[in-house]
Every structure is written in C-alpha cells, then in structure tokens.
Amino acid sequence: MRDKALRVLYGLLIAATLVYVALPSFVVVITAFSDKALLMFPPSGFSLKWFERAITYEDFRKGLANGLIVTAWASGIALVCGTLAAFAIERFEFSGKRVLESVLLSPLVIPHFTLGVAMLILASEFNIARTFSLVVVCHVILVLPFVMRAVYVSLKNIDPALERAAASLGASPLTVFLRIDLPLLAPGLAGGWLFAAILSFNEFTATLFVTGQRTQTLPVAMYTYVREYADPTMAALSSMLIAATVLFLVAANRWLGLERILSIEHAR
Amino acid sequence: MGETFSVSVEGVLKSFDGTPAVNDVSLKVRKGEFLTLLGPSGCGKTTLLNLIAGFLQPERGEIFIENELVTHTPPYLRSIGMVFQNYALFPHMTVAQNVAFGLKMRKVPAPKIAKRVADALEMVRLPHLGARTPRQLSGGQQQRVALARALVINPKVVLLDEPFSAIDKNLRAEMQVELKQIQKRVGITTLFVTHDQSEALSLSDRIAVMSHGRIEQLSEPAQLYRNPATSFVASFIGDINKLPCRLVSVSDAEAAFEFGGIQARLAASHAEGFSPGSEAVLYVRPEELTLLDAGDPAANFGAATVDTHVYQGTHVDVYVRYDDGRVLRARHPGFEAIERFPAGGRVGVSANLERAFLFPAS
C-alpha cells in the first residue's frame, strides 16, 4: 500500500519535471502557428506565415550561414587544440602544467560577458576589424574547456598498458598515438566536438560584442529582430531550431551512439 | 665474449622520489631459460621488468639484450614480447588484428602476416577466434591471444608481468601448464614476474627472489626451498617455523643452542659465523618436525602440548605449544595425527636439524 503510494508519487515527480523542462519549448512551438502578429498563448488561429517570414528574412539567412561558418571553425580548432592540450596534461610532466590547465579551463567560470568586452577592448586597441577571425578566436576560447574535459576523461579511460603493448610490438610514439590512442579517443572526440559545436552555435553574450553587421550570427540576429518586432517569427524560428537539434541528436545517437559520446557507458 | 645471454642487467639502479625501487641489481638470463622474478609487492620486480622492456630508464647501470646495449633504446626498437597483467589487448581491433599488429609494424608482407597470425593462433589453440573482438573472449582466451601477440614477432625475450593474476584459480593451473609447454616448444627466453611462490616454483628453471629492490637469491626452485640464502628467502618460500634462540656453545663439530629452557644441537656447518652467546633465529620447516609420544627418548626438541589441528587433505598441520608459550607447527602426512595426538595432550618433538637454517637475529 505504501509502496504503491510512493510509486505514484515518484511518477508524478518525474512527470512534473518533464513538464517543467518541456513546457517552454511546447509553448513556443504552439505560438509559432499563430495567425496574428502577436506573441499570444494559446493562439487564436492557425497559419504558417511566420515560418515563411523566418525562412525568408534576410538577416536570419545570413546569421545562420555566419553561425555555421563560425561554429565549424571554432569547434574544429578547439577540437585539435583541446586534444593536444589534454594529451599533454594527461600524459606528460612539465613545469607550468597546472597553470596551463587552469588557464585553459578558466572560461568555464569567467562570465561570457567579460570575455566579450575584453575581446572588444583588445580589438579596438589594436585596430582589429570585427571580422570572422575575431569571432572564431572568441568562440575557441569559450568552447576549448569542454573539448578538453571530454578528451581528458576519455584519455583517462585508456589503459596505459595498451600504449606500452603497442610500443613493445614495435610501434613508435607517433604510431601509438595514431593507431591506438586516436581510435580509442574517437567517441570522446566526437562528444567534445558535439558540445563545442552546440555551444558555439548558441553562444550569444560574448558574440554580441565581437560581431558586426556583416558577421552577426543567428542568436545575435534574433536578438536584433526581437528589439524591433514582437511577432511570432521568433517562435517559428525557435521551433525550427528545436526540430533541427532533435534531428541532429537522433542522428548522432543512431550513428555514433550518444551514450558513448557522453561517456555514460563504462570504459570496459 | 663468452656465453651469450638473452638479457644482461648490470648494476642497475632506479629510484622513485629518491627511494630506490631497483637497487644495484645484476642479472643474467640464459638463452631459452624460464626465469622468474619473485617477491612481495613493492619489491621492485615489476620495475626491473619495465627497465628491461624499456618503459623506464635506469639512473645507473647497463642493460643488454643479446649482447646489444639497449639501456637507452626505446621499447619499440628492443625486440621484446610482453604480456601484461590485464592482457592489454587492443579493444578496437579483432583478435587477428591484435596478433598481426607487431608484424605490421615490422612491415611483413600481408600474405606472410596472415600465415603467421594463423600459426600463432593455432599455437595457443584458438584458431577459430581470429574474427572476434577481445571483449567477446573469456579471460583465459584473452590471455592466450596476448601470448600469441607477444610470440608471433619472434622476440629475443618475452616478458610476462603477473599474467595469471586475473584468471580464476582452476583455470590458472591449466594456463600455467600450457605456458610452460609453449615456452619449451618455442624455446624462447622467458622472464616472468609473480608474487605467487607456487607459480614460480612450478614454472621456472631459475628464480630470482627479490626484496627491497635487491635480488636476495638466484637459484633453481629446489635450491631456494632446501638452501635459502637469507632469512627473507627462508620465510618467503614455503611454510616455515621461526624460532628465536641463543647460541650456547660452538665447536668444530657442532653447535648447541637454547630456547625456552630446551637445548638442542646441530652440525657446525649450519652455524658458521656464530659465536656462543649470540642471538639467532632457527628456521625449520613443518615437515621437518615430527611429533612423538610423550617421553620418547628420540625427542630432541623438548616436550610440548598439542594446541590445534589443521587438516589439509594430504597432511595435517599440528600446532604445539611449549611451556613458555611459543607455538610451532609440525606437519604429518595423512590424517592419523589427529587421533594420535589429541588436543591438550603432551607430546615429544623431534626436529630434523640437518634441514634447519640458522640466521642471525635481526
């Protein structure tokens, strides 16, 4: 009797959590189909015109393209740098190792706002134009810790005896890295890259400071839009982003195994 | 140059944080020999193995593999085969790819690789498992694949680091026999590390007993048991009674010693370097102690009271207590001793002191 009551209570708690997490997305998606130029819930009629506007709105198109460019570069560079840094920190002893680690991980605790302002000040001080390079550099700094953490955890899960075994069989250190470490790191690398890409694509606070009219990414373009209009276009755009993310994650899960990427599965 | 040794270690020193883990060790491993480094954990046996493999570099001393100086040669140029405690099979490769790895590194042509991998898997009796991944194998099978992978490259020496410690006990004996057979058939020099003395005694041609970074004794298994060179070896190999005692007199023929009011004599050759009055410890194995009926004149080791019996199948260990409280263990074959010497009864103790060892009290 008590067990049953507990189970019901437990079920309710889970349901409440789900509603709490999913409700905002739900409201946004419903609102997107509104027929009026007002953000209202529930909407008074059905239409797809806000989707049409979101798709055809020039700033969004450019923002999406810019965002994808920045994300591709930033997550790619962070993946390479983060992997090398994590490898050095995990496998070698050198002076200043702890300092290097702290500095590289510091963006986790420094507000993005601070970084954005700092980049802006530096850029104007040295007369650097607000180009893509500036945005990419800023994003690399922001997402590097996530890549490093992911690779670091995967590296820790690699048994050093595997490297030794390969060495005893005649593999040079470079071969060991390419043939043993890299394949075993692949899930960690994919996970790190996934986090970095999602983070970079959605980053707004710091990006706002370092982008110009020509380089603004999608979140910045959305912000600019909201300051001028209050119609359901934003809801429509958000709905599409939600759908895209879901598709992306389903695909990642299907082909790469999400639990492997997120390192939920046991190492062995 | 004389005899070619598969491995020569000369005066090697390696320390971690200032504490020597391998302290001025010299060791020569003969060709085709099965030599075991035996000792408790922390004795430096694994460090010595890693020095020979090239995973560590010594601070002092030299290491030769077949007369070639390799002290500072990286592991991948040393031509060694190594089997690790947890097998260390590459999880992202199949069994066949694991075995082929060393041959690929040596740029052996593909058809030859296939042939040699098949032969190697045949040798460890797993010819049909080449396409599996290591995860799909049992511990014993993984062990065999690791052995095949180490041997397929025809190394000059194969190093085994506690290879059986993760295998359950029943399978272990079977694997040991198989390893020994393969080793003899291939004729490969083998350096084996273990903390398990029975494993060492049953497999090895020679055993190097290590303690605190040094080799205490290097000899054949039977010699270690019958002629331990140090008190450490005496107490580490096999069961043994330790009996603190004091030398009473030493003559050319024999030495007399005393413990708890009991005097006994042993040949002077067993008491070299001792003088009357010096403190010593007598080491005597349980099977060299025999219990007699109380009052038997043959009891050269005093009288005591039976404490407990521990039945071991092939023999009974009888613990007897002397009047001063010290306890000795006597080993009788069969189980009759349980009835003949009931707990609480008085017995006479006879010791075969020809097979006892006297070491200075530390």
Task: Give pLDDT, residue A264.
Answer: 44
A208 located within any domain:
yes
Alpha carbon distance B352, B342 (integer Å): 23
Q: What token pair was written down for A112?
A: 């993005």
Q: How far is A155 from chain B (nearest CA, A)?
A: 14
Whether residue A35 lies inside any domain: the answer is no
CA of B77, closest CA in chain A: separation in Å?
6
pLDDT higher than threshold 80 for residue A41 = no
Nearest chain A CA: its distance from B347 CA (Å): 56
Cβ distance A168 to B85 less than 8 Å, yes or no, reads: no
> Nearest 5°: phi and psi at B167?
-100, 140
Exposed/middle/buried for residue A240 (C-beta within 10 Å: 0-12, 13-18, 19+): middle
**Percentage of the residues of chain A whose pLDDT score is greater than 90:** 33
- pLDDT score, position A268: 36
Entry pTM: 0.78
User: Does residue A267 have a pLDDT over 70?
Assistant: no
- Does B305 reach chain A within 8 Å, measured CB to CB? no
Burial of A128 (0-12, 13-18, 19+ CB in 10 A): middle
Measured in angstroms, the CA of A84 and the nearest CA of chain B are apart by 21
Contacts of A162 in chain B (CB under 8 A): 88, 90-91
Q: Look up the CATH number of domain B241-360.
A: 2.40.50.140
Count Cβ–Cβ pairs < 8 Å, chain A vs chain B.
64
> Which pLDDT tens digits describe chain B residue by residue (362 residues)?
567 899 999 999 999 988 999 999 999 999 999 999 999 998 999 999 999 999 999 999 999 999 899 999 999 999 999 999 889 999 999 999 999 999 999 999 999 999 999 999 999 889 999 899 999 998 889 999 999 999 999 999 999 999 888 788 888 888 898 899 999 999 999 999 999 998 999 899 999 999 999 999 999 999 999 999 999 999 999 899 999 999 998 888 889 999 888 888 888 888 888 888 889 999 999 999 999 998 888 888 989 999 999 998 899 999 999 988 899 999 999 888 888 999 999 999 999 988 999 999 87
User: Which of A265, A249, A223, A242 minimizes the C-alpha distance to A26?
Assistant: A242
Tell how strand B157-161 and strand B190-194 pair up.
Answer: parallel
Domain contains A161: yes
Position A108 in a domain: yes
* pLDDT score, position A123: 87
- A218-227 tens-digit pLDDT: 999 999 998 8
- The count of domains in chain A is 1
DSSP output for B28-48: EEETT-EEEEE-STTSSHHHH
pLDDT surpasses 70 at A265:
no
In angstroms, the separation between the Cα of residue B108 and the nearest Cα of chain A is 12
Question: Is the model's pLDDT at A257 over the cut of 80?
Answer: no
Where in chain B are the domains?
A: 5-236, 241-360
Name the CA dihedral angle for B248, B249, B253, B254, rounded to a multiple of 10 degrees: 0
| CATH for the B5-236 domain, from 3.40.50.10140, 3.90.76.10, 3.40.50.300, 3.30.70.120 | 3.40.50.300
Tell if the CB–CB gap between B55 and A164 is shorter than 8 Å.
Answer: yes
The answer, yes or no, to whether residue A71 has pLDDT greater than 80, is yes
Q: Is residue A73 part of a domain?
A: yes
Q: What's the pLDDT band for A87 if we cut at 50, 70, 90?
A: confident
Chain-centre distance for alpha carbon A55: 23
Chain A residues contacting B via beta carbons under 8 Å: 159, 161-162, 164-173, 175, 179-180, 183-184, 268
Q: Is B215 helix (H, G, I), strand (E, B) or coil?
A: strand
Pairing of strands B303-311, B80-83: unpaired
Confidence of residue A49 (pLDDT cuts 50, 70, 90): confident
The Cα A267–Cα A264 span in angstroms is: 9
Which domain does A129 fall in, by range?
46-261
Chain A residues with CB-CB distance to B85 below 8 A = 161
Least confident span in A101-110, A207-216, B51-60, B252-261: A101-110
B358 touching chain A per CB within 8 A: no
CB contact under 8 A, A164 and B90: no
Closest CA to B60 of B14, B95, B116: B14
Residue A44 scores a pLDDT above 90: no
Nearest CA in chain A to B157: A168
pLDDT tens across A118-165, in order? 998 988 888 877 788 889 999 999 999 888 888 888 888 888 899 999
Q: What DSSP state is assigned to residue A108?
A: G
What CATH number should be reported for the domain holding residue A159? Answer: 1.10.3720.10
B357 neighbors B234 (Cβ within 8 angstroms): yes
